[in-house]
Amino acid sequence: MVIKYNIEELSRIARDISILTGISISVLDTEYKALTHYSPENSYCLLLQGIDGEQSYCRECDERILERCRATGKLESHICRAALYDCSMPIVKKGVVAAYVIMGRIRSSSSPESEIYIPECDAETARELKRLYTEVPYIDAGRLDALYDILPSILFNNAIELVYDTFFDEVTEYINSNLQEK
């Protein structure tokens, strides 16, 4: 079986979903190689990631959630230390994981402003982080659930294709049918 990705279409879908929702979205292949990424401007994250060590923390956070997703085979989510919601989900068809999607940089009902993370920085940067946090898009759980439900279909119908090699299937069937033979 071969997985074919239409990168142009994946990029269009990611861009459209991001524009509609305000969510940052990346589609990765099964080895976590980025196929496409789209993120609306998020001044809060840009300022935060400009502080020493914060960008590497964000990257590590994404890696952890992807590993949990791979291990469980289902949607995994968390609230990062910046008090933002992130999730990762496998894109599965016929029992085959064809891609992973990681989405986030949004506020949810589970990410209260009172828990906003302010790293060591000057007072002016801290005030600006607090202000910019209020501008981060908010999405309620119902809208997120609807997105999770339709996303695999959108990707498989438009940009990801599973191509099966019939020769391989025939050989596998022959072997399975003749396991008792020498």
Residue 122 confidence (pLDDT) above 80:
yes
Cβ(15)–Cβ(38) under 8 Å? Answer: yes
Note the pLDDT tens digit of each residue in 128-180: 999 999 889 888 888 888 999 999 999 988 899 988 877 777 777 888 888 88
Note the pLDDT tens digit of each residue in 21-69: 999 999 999 999 999 999 998 899 999 999 988 999 999 999 999 999 9
DSSP string, 70-139: HHHTS-EEEE-TTS-EEEEEEEEETTEEEEEEEEEEEB-TTS-GGG----S--HHHHHHHHHHHTTS-B-
Residue 110 confidence (pLDDT) above 70:
no
Cβ(61)–Cβ(83) under 8 Å? Answer: no
pLDDT for 142 equals 87
pLDDT for 93 equals 85
Q: How far apart are CA 100 and CA 89, in angstroms?
A: 6
Segment (H or E) for 151: helix 141-158
Average pLDDT, the chain: 90
Cβ(14)–Cβ(38) under 8 Å? Answer: yes
